[in-house]
Amino acid sequence: MTNSLYIDDKEVVVHGRFFKTARLKSEYYEWIDDPKNFVSHLKSRCAGADLFTFLQKATERDLQYEFRCEPDSIAALPITTYEEWWKNQINVKTRNMIRKAQKSGVLVRTVEFNDALIQGIKKIYDESPIRQGKPFKHYGKDLETLRESHVSYLEQSQFIGAFYGDELIGFVKLVHDDGMSHLMQIISKIRYRNMAPTNALVDKTVEICAQKKVPYLHYGIWSSRGLGDFKKHHAFERLDLQRYFVPLNLKGTMVLFLKLYRNPTEYIPENWLQYLADKRGQWNEFRMSRGMRTGKN
């Protein structure tokens, strides 16, 4: 179960069953400038939370605070110039995929945030209830819900669309931050996968960031599973941010001492996780195909 509240104009979510952990809802896209003051306000407003965790800005590499700290790995692309990325950071296969998109007639350009974009996004989301082997959380959402979910950080955002003719077949929501830009969303239609629209979207995103002299482009967490290979092929690297943990009560102190805040998957070998992820994907695909045959979702 997850609850949320606002502290110093930032949305905090609280989740957990045996102990409650609080964190910023958009913790990879916004930051806390004064953690001690923020924690004080959190304690007075959120009696149900046992532990608070937050990230240090990527531009601050050294430890800034005296709280318990562990590395949190994200996928980040170091950018100097677009030419450097194209010639030296990506391999021949990736360059060929981008060229393939161009030769296939995929056009990529920045687009306005408007009704036409939201309608195009809905068509992309509604293509399949399964993405990357698991239920897709945006499948079937109505237009107003999608608008609300994409309006966040609008003043800092650029939207990039991949088009085949007049059809939107993929898009990027790019959020610019201090010292780093974020691929908050990147997705393309599955039916056009062979035309490499997602590769073309990354290419345009890197070009924009290079023009803005953005030193890092962030694309989710660092992992060798899932999209890990795709990120590596586009020159994303592991970048460790500092994650802090602050106990809010006695129970939180015990959780911190016993390191119960860690994800149980951290103790499972990577090849086992990949095996389980593959099986989960097969099961979800089977459920989807069975539901289509029986007329159930």
| Residues 233-251: tens digit of each pLDDT | 999 999 999 999 999 999 9
**Continuous segment of H or E residues that includes residue 167:** strand 167-177
Q: With 90 as the cut, is the pLDDT of residue 134 above it?
A: no
- DSSP-derived letter for residue 198 is H
List the single range of 16-25, 48-57, 204-213, 255-264 with lowest mean pLDDT: 255-264
What architecture is domain 80-116+146-214?
Answer: 3-Layer(aba) Sandwich (3.40)
Q: Where are the alpha helices (DSSP H) in the chain?
A: 35-45, 82-84, 92-103, 115-125, 143-150, 197-211, 228-233, 250-258, 270-294
Please give the pLDDT value at position 270.
60
Q: With 70 as the cut, is the pLDDT of residue 147 above it?
A: yes
What digits encode the pLDDT tens for the residues 36-74?
A: 999 999 988 877 899 999 999 888 878 889 899 999 999
- pLDDT level of residue 259 (50, 70, 90 thresholds): confident
Please give the pLDDT value at position 133.
75
Please give the pLDDT value at position 275.
52
- pLDDT level of residue 289 (50, 70, 90 thresholds): low
Tokens 């296939």 found at: 104
Please give the pLDDT value at position 228.
84
Q: What's the whole-number average pLDDT of the chain?
A: 88
Q: With 80 as the cut, is the pLDDT of residue 271 above it?
A: no
Q: Distance between CA atoms of 263 and 4, rounded to whole angstroms?
A: 21
Domain with CATH 3.40.630.30 in the chain: 80-116+146-214
Q: Distance between CA atoms of 156 and 38, rounded to whole angstroms?
A: 24
- pLDDT level of residue 29 (50, 70, 90 thresholds): confident
Please give the pLDDT value at position 168.
98
Q: With 90 as the cut, is the pLDDT of residue 126 above it?
A: yes
What digits encode the pLDDT tens for the residues 159-198?
A: 999 999 999 999 999 999 988 999 999 999 999 999 999 9
Percentage of the chain surpassing pLDDT 70? Answer: 86
Percentage of the chain surpassing pLDDT 90? Answer: 68
Please give the pLDDT value at position 1.
57
Tokens 């107003």 found at: 144
